[in-house]
Amino acid sequence: MTAVSSRRTQIGPADDMLLQVSGLAYDYSGVGAVSDCSLELPRGKIAALIGGNGAGKSTSVKMIAGALRPRSGKVVLDGQDITAMPAHKTVELGIALVPEGRLVFQHLTVRENLTLSGHVRRAREKFQQNLERVFDLFPRLREREAQNAGSLSGGEQQMLAIGRGLMTRPRILILDEPSLGLSPILVSQMFLLIRKLNEEGISVLLVEQNVHHTLAIADYAYVLEKGRVVQEGEGRALLKDPKVKEAYLGLA
């Protein structure tokens, strides 16, 4: 794929840009993992970051969420530079990262997992309302409220991981490989859920290797290769792009 030009496409009015990321770079033990990640997420939209294994997708969203400090670059949330802000502070500003691998607290109950996330400052006053919303979205979690998270199925643990993110009342929900390891039926349900959350007003940054489903729901998408954004465009347009089809959909 050819690299994008230095002049990036404006995907919405500047005052509607909730998240603006430019030139993020990160090294692991001196080895470059991400060299130039730049993307934008307008208010109320779904932006996707796609690419193969080792492309730097997870590293990029960890930098955006404050879990990793970038070597260079900038992260701006609603006009505020949050590049150096740690994760516990970005959560209070409305960024929730649901990491790859779910990472729920295995020895705590479903309710205890949700309670821990629900007591961040921005969400504390509406704890019960947020809890009911999560249980309405995921009735299975209500049924297993007193069950240890480690005893849940993979799909149920993914529900819990997303539920934990929603308990913080996020403005931006960052989902890192939410369909990983799920059955085909659950994968379809997961993407329907993402669309539903977005329709309810949550802006979504979606990292996925399931390119077909992802580009079908993304308003805009970025292709990351070897730590650099090399292509970008509207989701459905990239779904039809010959280079993307060949590289990620197995179609010539």
How far is 16 from 61, CA to CA, in rounded Å?
21
Please choose, from the candidates 113, 95, 219, 214, the residue with its C-alpha nearest in 3D space to the C-alpha of residue 157: 113
Structural domain includes residue 217: yes
Question: What CATH number does the domain containing 241 carry?
Answer: 3.40.50.300
Structural domain includes residue 234: yes
Q: What is the percent of the chain where pLDDT is above 70?
A: 93
pLDDT value at position 249?
Answer: 75
Structural domains counted in the chain: 1
32 lies in which domain range?
1-81+203-252
Structural domain includes residue 101: no
Record the pTM.
0.90
Structural domain includes residue 24: yes
Whole-angstrom distance between the N-terminal and C-terminal Cα of the chain? 14
Banded model confidence at residue 6, pLDDT cuts 50, 70, 90:
very low
Chain mean pLDDT for the chain: 91
Structural domain includes residue 98: no
Region of poorest pLDDT, from 67-71, 127-131, 158-162, 179-183: 179-183
Structural domain includes residue 102: no
pLDDT value at position 5?
Answer: 36
Residue 13 has pLDDT above 60, yes or no: no
Residue 233 has pLDDT above 70, yes or no: yes
Structural domain includes residue 108: no
Structural domain includes residue 74: yes
- Produce one character per residue of 143-177: b if its CB has 16 or more CB atoms within 10 Å, e if not: ebeeebbeebeebbbbbbbbbbbbbbbbbbbbbbb
Banded model confidence at residue 14, pLDDT cuts 50, 70, 90:
low
Banded model confidence at residue 98, pLDDT cuts 50, 70, 90:
very high
